[in-house]
């Protein structure tokens, strides 16, 4: 301890006359009075870390970490090991201005390099387009452009079409379509319907079993959607490309509401179909058995599958 105290009292004066050194680093340069730095390119690995000035050896007093101020103490025992996790340009900074020398280790951070890419979108000049379609359409296939209605036959893997007023865009399809393929769930476009929230086709059943509105935000009450309303929108859904319907449970639900909220006075009805009371009967808010039969009949006619 006497050696450390004696050395510390000499540091400010010695630092002016002498230079700090560290194995693997060039002689330190003075940044300002009492502050010294050195830079070196080091490789990934483990190395001993000691510093020297005027024949005095110093070492970090604690765990060696980057970007943290580390106190130095006179060397004792085996030199501490500094683990470098990657190659890079490292800097050692020694600061003696407080009397107790400190050490700061850092690595140069290279700015992230972003490739400068320039893309030029093709501009259609108004002339017919010749396309290689062999990866999509077999030789001899008659191909149609959806926008213009023009057709061409694949020859040598290519077709030539004059785009419509679509800025050169072509949407190609087979001109000759085969019979519709059998329904396959793997390719289904499923539309989930929470029936009560979809469309009100019969307002007369909105308050079945004495159910009523809460006169507020109507968050947990029935809104009036029913099977008849869903049936009326099958054509619309088909236009969207839907070929499978998944509807909320239409079975009879508990008639009253479940109390929610902090006081239990928030009216929460089973509009979602989760509180089934009778699995053999339709809920009156959803409609009648005739309404369900009409939905199923028209759904089958439109090629819909059901869940």
Whether 232 has a pLDDT exceeding 90, the answer reads: yes
pTM over 0.85: no
Question: What pLDDT is stored for residue 287 in this prediction?
Answer: 97
How many domains, in total, are found in the chain?
A: 3
**93-97: average pLDDT:** 93
The domain boundary, picked from 174, 194, 229, lies at 174
Highest mean pLDDT among 162-171, 264-273, 284-293: 284-293
Residue 141 falls inside a structural domain: yes
Q: Which of 43-47, 115-119, 158-162 has the lowest mean pLDDT?
A: 115-119
Residue 165: phi and psi, rounded to 5, are -75, 70
**37-62: average pLDDT:** 94
Q: 232 and 295 share a domain?
A: yes
- Provide the domain limits for residue 81: 14-107
Question: What pLDDT is stored for residue 32 in this prediction?
Answer: 86
**129-146: average pLDDT:** 94
The span from the CA of 89 to the CA of 218, in Å, is 65
Residue 179 falls inside a structural domain: no
Q: 266 and 286 share a domain?
A: yes
Rg of the chain taking only CA atoms, in angstroms: 40
Task: State percent of the chain over pLDDT 70.
Answer: 93
Question: What pLDDT is stored for residue 251 in this prediction?
Answer: 98
Q: 274 and 225 share a domain?
A: yes
Residue 122 falls inside a structural domain: no
Q: Which residues of 6-30 are buried (b: 16+ CB within 10 A; e: fewer)?
A: ebbeebeebbeebbbebeebeebee
Q: How high does pLDDT run on average in the chain?
A: 89
**195-207: average pLDDT:** 97
């Amino acid at each position: 301890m006497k050696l450390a105290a004696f050395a510390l009292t000499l540091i400010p004066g010695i630092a002016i006359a002498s230079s700090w050194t560290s194995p693997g680093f060039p002689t330190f340069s003075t940044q300002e009075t009492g502050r010294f730095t050195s830079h070196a390119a080091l490789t990934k690995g483990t190395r001993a870390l000691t510093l020297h000035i005027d024949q005095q050896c110093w070492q970090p007093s604690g765990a060696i970490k980057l970007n943290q101020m580390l106190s130095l103490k006179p060397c004792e025992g085996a030199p501490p090991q500094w683990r470098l996790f990657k190659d890079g340009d490292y800097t050692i900074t020694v600061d003696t201005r407080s009397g107790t020398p400190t050490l700061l280790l850092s690595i140069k951070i290279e700015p992230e390099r972003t490739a400068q890419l320039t893309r030029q979108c093709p501009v259609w000049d108004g002339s017919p387009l010749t396309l290689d379609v062999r990866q999509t359409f077999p030789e001899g296939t008659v191909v149609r452009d959806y926008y213009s209605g023009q057709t061409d036959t694949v020859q040598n893997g290519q077709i030539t079409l004059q785009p419509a007023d679509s800025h050169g865009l072509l949407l190609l399809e087979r001109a000759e379509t085969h019979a519709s393929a059998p329904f396959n769930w793997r390719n289904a476009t499923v539309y989930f319907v929470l029936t009560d929230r979809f469309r009100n086709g019969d307002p007369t059943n909105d308050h079945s079993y004495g159910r009523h509105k809460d006169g507020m935000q109507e968050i947990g009450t029935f809104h009036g959607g029913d099977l008849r309303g869903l049936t009326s929108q099958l054509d619309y859904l088909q236009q969207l490309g839907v070929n499978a319907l998944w509807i909320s449970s239409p079975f009879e639900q508990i008639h009253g509401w479940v109390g929610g909220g902090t006081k239990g006075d928030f009216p929460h009805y089973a509009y979602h179909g989760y509180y089934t009371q009778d699995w053999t009967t339709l809920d009156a808010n959803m409609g009648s058995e005739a309404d369900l039969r009409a939905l199923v009949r028209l759904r089958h006619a439109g090629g819909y599958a059901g869940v």
